[in-house]
Amino acid sequence: MTVKKLTAAEQQKLAVDFCGLSFTTPLVLLSGCVGFGEEYTRISGFSNRATGAVCLKGTTLEPRLGNAPHRIAETPGGMLNAIGLQNPGVDHVINTILPELDFSETRFIANVSGSTIEEYTEVTRRFDESPIDAIEINISCPNVREGGVTFGNDPDMSARVVAACRAVTDKPLITKLSPNQTDIADNARRCIEAGTDAFAVINTLMGMAIDINTRTPVIGNNQGGLSGPAIKPVALLRTHQVHQVCRAHDIPIIGQGGITTAQDAIEFLIAGAAAVGIGTALFYDPLICDTINRGLLDYLALQQLDSVSDLTGSLQLHGNANSPCGCD
Catalytic residues: 141
Measure the CA–CA gap between 263 and 259, rounded to whole angstroms.
8
Q: How far apart are the C-alpha atoms of 140 and 149, rounded to whole Å?
A: 4
* Neighbour tally for 226: CB within 10 Å: 26
Name the DSSP letter for residue 324: T
Phi, psi of 199 (to 5 degrees): -130, 150
| DSSP labels, 143-207 | T-SSSTHHHHT-HHHHHHHHHHHHTT--S-EEEEE-SSSS-HHHHHHHHHHHT--EEEE--PEEE
- Where on the phi/psi map is residue 197: left (φ > 0), alpha (ψ -120 to 50), or beta? alpha
Q: Which residues have C-beta within 8 Å of that of residue 306, sequence separation ≥ 6?
A: 13, 300
Phi-psi label, residue 203: left if phi above 0, alpha if psi -120 to 50, beta otherwise: beta
Tell me if 87 sits within 8 A of 59, measured CB to CB.
yes
Q: CA 274, CA 232: separation in Å to the nearest integer?
A: 17
Name the strands in the sheet holding 78-81, side by side, starting at the edge strand that comes first in the sequence: 72-75, 78-81, 224-227, 205-207
Residue 317 DSSP class: -
Read out DSSP for 246-296?
HGGGT--EEEESS--SHHHHHHHHHHT-SEEEE-THHHH-TTHHHHHHHHH
Residue 92 identity (one-letter amino acid)? H
